[in-house]
Amino acid sequence: MAHAITFTDTYPKAPLLTRIADGLANWIDSVAENHPRMRAVRALRAMSDTQLAARGITRDEIVHHVFKDTYYR
């Protein structure tokens, strides 16, 4: 006796333009997250409050400190 198995997509693919838009959004997000300024923000957020105080920064001033020459003039 022969058995035939057919596979169907249980999760159909999204339309082409949706997949392109999602890929573009993921790419933009990865570029933004890997920017040196965002890495600096993450590094400062990982520090303790005493380490930040030694640098003269409070926790709520981290983003302002990192982006001060770009956005806060």
pLDDT band of 2, cuts 50, 70, 90 = low
pLDDT of residue 11 exceeding 90: no
Largest Cα–Cα separation, the chain: 79
Least Cα distance to 59 among 41, 72, 73, 71 occurs for: 41
User: What is the pTM (predicted TM-score) of this model?
Assistant: 0.63
Q: Given pLDDT bands bounded at 50, 70 and 90, which one contains residue 14?
A: confident
Residue keyed to tokens 């890997």: 34
What mean pLDDT comes out for the span 4-12?
Answer: 69
- For the stretch 25-67, pLDDT in tens is 999 999 999 999 999 999 999 999 999 999 999 999 999 999 9
